[in-house]
Structure formats: structure tokens, C-alpha cells
Amino acid sequence: MCGIVGYVGEKLATDVILEGLQKLEYRGYDSSGVAILGSGKLKFRKIAGRLSNLISSVEENPVEGTIGIGHTRWATHGAPSDVNAHPHTNEDGTIAVVHNGIIENYMTLKNELIEKGYNFESDTDTEIVAKLLDMYYEGDLLQAVFKMVKRLKGAYALGIVSSNNPDELIAVRKESPLILGVGDDELFVASDIPAILNRTRKVIYLENNDIVKLTREGYTIYNVDRNVVEREVKEILWDVEAATKEGYDHFMIKEINQQSSVIKDTLFRRLDDKGNIYLENVNIDSKYLTTINKIYIVACGTAYHAGLIGKHILEKFLNLHVIIDIASEFRYGNNFVDDKTLMIVVSQSGETADTLAALRLAKSKGARILSITNVVGSTVARESDDIFYTWAGPEIAVASTKAYTTQLTAFYMISLYFGKLKGTLGDEIYNEILSELKSLPAKVKAAIEESEKVAREIAEKIKNKRSLFYIGRGLDYYTAMEGALKLKEISYIQAEAFAAGELKHGSIALIEKDTPVIAIATQRDLYEKTVSNIKEVKARGAYTIGITRVSNKDLENVCDSVIYLDETYDIFMPLLSVISPQLLAYYAAVERGNDVDKPRNLAKSVTVE
């Protein structure tokens, strides 16, 4: 879960690389470094802490050259420190490596190298890559890389330079994201598009086991068998401003406010001339839907919460059994996947290691894979049979907001589309539900506007609390889970979600005077029961905040504060009710002085298991 930037051209490589790393700091921010080739020499600078430390160091003591690699780290092996920061080198400092991912067999390789006389300075798995390259190097860096990758197990992206081959940069991709940028007389490699978007819009999505050699004359891509392969150059159509804050204090609040427009994009760009849903990258027909006996949903974290709601909607519209599992647990339990299973995998980045592992296991058992992801060309997308891109645009803040609501939108659209195909949804009901779905972008915008002031006020009241509880029933419970996760992620307030009906079975013991309890009460059939549960915690001294639909004005008689939402169908309320918890988490983090976009111990793209 680190960021890589590499450059080959005529400009000062350090400037280009540091600019790119600033766009990737959401991927890792506990240390950073650069290795630059200039005048036939390899020069290094690496330092623990935020990227600003490295920038200051380079400003005080410039590192000049026109070819180089850079890295921003999120620690997996070894604590954040100058020594563990990338790049890592061989012992004479002639080869430098930056790395994203994990080398699973690094201890075996490290012991082998130690027996051969190699010494190690860091606690990282990356250092063995530099030492292996040194062992295999015989004057040709590319040939050493070919030999080295045959020894590695795991998921990794690598950037490699050597002073003995001062005119080239080698990059390797296996299971970890890496792109190649093609500019005018300059080339780039990077972990994600925002790193190079100011420099070029021409991008190649490197594929698994691609090895690319970059020189000032151009690039050549090889597979592990050393054969030259061709990859399509694609034009990136994003506005450059899509990867900046656009005047907002943080990326997270910008992305919360974008939700209305990105939900609209995700929905309306998939409607045909008659206004019906058309999923061009989903090649599933009515015959296939009659042959499957179950659907699996597999995801992690926020995407898992979207999957919980997706399970409810799919079962309702398809009259079919849906099983949901946490991706990190999927391979280690008794799963019932076969060739009559449709698996839906959900991953914002499309690179989530646990989700990819589950995908591959299911595929090996004959399941068909439908992915919901935000990143075009990601590994999840490439390895799936069918793809639903959420079109949320780049999400920079670590805590997911717009990716989540577009994932919900994806589940609504897929469920409607499949229900109509299968015939379990009649035309009249389909048209009625789709019409309401089309109204939701405007209602999300209203929810943001209506929730903002109250969320600020509540954040002020809870900022010094040790703990907070969310409660809800049915679909509201799943939103409560997402709300609690958001608060934990960025405010660091201990937050837990409880099924409201389960309070009396033990968890109500945690309620004491002034304990904040946020009750989500939007489901009509469960509303009265939820009100009774709110009264239970209120009787124990809780400070209660209600989130409900605008018709439930009586909630003011029960709660200390209420946030009201527009009316919509019960199944669509999760799209509206999650807005207030997002804003509350954001403003609580701001009040506590936290780094909102880069919460401690977390990274955006989870490429390790």
C-alpha cells in the first residue's frame, strides 16, 4: 500500500517525482524517498515521516538528474524509519529499488542471501529485491530483473534503476497496480493516474507479469518469458482538477459533496434511449439467470457494508438466495461456490488483495465473476467476466464516501436489471422503482445541505467523548455499521453499531449518562420498534440523535436532536441516511484536529492480506 513514481526524460527528475508523490500520499505517508541518476551516479534521499520532510530535505540539498524513482510508504515490514524507507539498495549502492506490495517468500530468500554473504540493514522485504538483483547482475539490468522475478512470490510493483545502466529504468508489475505514462519525449511509471495527470493523459495499464524497460528512446514491454508484448495506449479523460481539492479544506468533504453528481453519472450514463437500464459491460442474459442457484457477494470494509445492502436488494428483486462474506475470511470457511454461482466482488480500488484472492478461488471453482469497482483497468476488473464501473472519479481521502454511495447505486441498478431480465420484476414495478431511483441524486444533494449544520453542532458535542453508538434495524443497521466505521476511521472515537433489537440482550449495559447514541430510523415497517429501542437507551441517560424521514416528526419527542431526510422507498433510504454519518465523522475529526484525509495507520488501497 505504497506509492511509486518513476521518470525518464530531460526534466529534473526530482521535481517530477515529488510532484507525483504528492498526488499519491494517500497511498502511504509514514516515510518517503527518491533515487536519482545524474552524471552516471546514483544519488539517494529518504526520510521518515510525511512527504513534506523529504521535500524540505531536497530543497536544502538538491538531488539532480533526469532519470529516477520515488516512493511514499505505508509500512508492512518494519516500523517507519529512515532505514526502512525506500528506495533500498545493494551493498555498494549501485542498484536502487522501490516497491509496493509484499514479497511472501522474503524470509527464505533473505536467509539464502545471508548464507551467500549479503548483509541487510532494514527490516523490509524490499531489500531482498535489491540484493537478488545484485546477485544476478552481469552487466545487463534487464536480464538481472528477468532472473530475479522468477524467484519472487507475492504481489508487487517495482521500480528499479542502476548507476551501471544510467540511461534506463525498469518497472515490474505483479498483482499490484502500476501504470506507464507516455509523454512528449518523456516517460513515467506510477501507482495511480493522479501522479502523472499534470504531465500526460496517455496511459498504458500494465498487466500482470509485465516488465517494462524505459529509456529516452522509448519503452519496451516484456512478459516473464522475455517476449515483447504490445499494450494499448489509452487517453485519460478526467479533468485535471478532479484530483485536487477545488477549494475545499479536505478531499473528504469535497468527495462527500460530489456524491449527488457521481451517483447521477453512474446511473444516467447507463440508461438507453427509452430510459431503461443498459449495462454494456455485463453480458449476463435471462437464460444464465435461470441456471444459477445462488449469488455470493464478497468485499471488505466499506465495500462489505454496501454488499450487505446489495444482498437485501438482490434477494428482494430476484427471489434468489444471496450469501455475503468478508473477503479475508472467504477462503478459510466452508464456501459453496460452483459453476452455478454468480459472485459479485466489490472493491473501490480494484486491487484489494483479500478480494482478489477470493475472486480467484471462486473462479477456479467455475463461478462467474461480476465486479463492482471504481478503477478502470484494475486487476479485479481485468480478471472478472463482467464489470460495473462506478464512475465515482478519483477518491483521494482514505475514508470512502462517494465510492460507497456509487457502489450502492450499482447494486440498485444491477438488481433492477437482473429482476427485469429474469422476470421476477414486472414492467410496472420496474418502471416505478427506476423512476424513483432517478430522483435520488437530487435527494442526496438535499440530504447534504440539510445535514451539514446539524452534523457540525453534533460534532462539537461529541468531540471529547470516549465512545459512541449507532443503532438501527433492517437496512438501517447496515448504515449504522458504515456510520460507526467512518467515525472510527477518522475521528478515532470508539464507535460501535448495534442492531437496535439486540440492545436488551447485552449491549445496553454500555449505556450511561450522556452516552451519545445515533439512531437511524427510516424503515417504515420497523419504525415503531426502533422508537421503542431509542426510548430504552434514553431511559438509561443516553444523548440521542435521530436520523429519519421527514414524515416522522414525532421523533422530536424522543430524541435530543433529529436530522430529517426526503421521502423515498425504504430500499433507497441507505443512500440518503449515510450522508449524515459521513458529515458527522468528518466534522468530529476536524474538531479533534485530526488529519482527515490521511488517518493514522490506514491507507487507501489495501494490497496486502
Catalytic residue list = 2, 604
Tell the residue number behind the cell numbers 501507482, with chain if given.
Answer: 191
What are 426's three cell numbers?
Answer: 414486472
Q: How far apart are CA 484 and CA 512, in angstroms?
A: 19
For residues 191 and 3, is the Cβ–Cβ distance under 8 A? yes
Tell the residue number behind the cell numbers 534521499, with chain if given.
Answer: 45
| Paired sense of beta strands 31-38 and 41-48, if any | antiparallel
| Paired sense of beta strands 543-549 and 516-521, if any | parallel
Q: Say which residues have a Cβ less than 8 Å from residue 529's Cβ, sequence separation at least 6.
A: 473, 500, 501
Helix/strand/coil (H/E/C) assignment for every residue in 31-44:
EEEEEEEECCEEEE
Give the closest residue to 143 by CA, choosing from 89, 211, 189, 207.
Answer: 211
- Cα torsion for 330, 336, 340, 343, to the nearest 10°? -20
Going along 424-542, which residue ranges are E strands? 467-472, 494-499, 516-521
Q: Say which residues have a Cβ less than 8 Å from residue 405's Cβ, sequence separation at least 6.
A: 259, 262, 263, 444, 575, 578
Q: How far apart are CA 367 and CA 294, in angstroms?
A: 10
Phi first, then psi, for residue 602 (nearest 5°) are: -115, 160
C-alpha distances out from residue 567 to 203, 415, 444, 552, 577, Å: 44, 21, 11, 10, 11
Q: How far apart are CA 404 and CA 576, in angstroms?
A: 12
Tell the residue number behind the cell numbers 464478497, with chain if given.
Answer: 298
DSSP H helices in 383-467 = 402-422, 427-438, 440-462
For residues 596 and 590, is the Cβ–Cβ distance under 8 A? yes
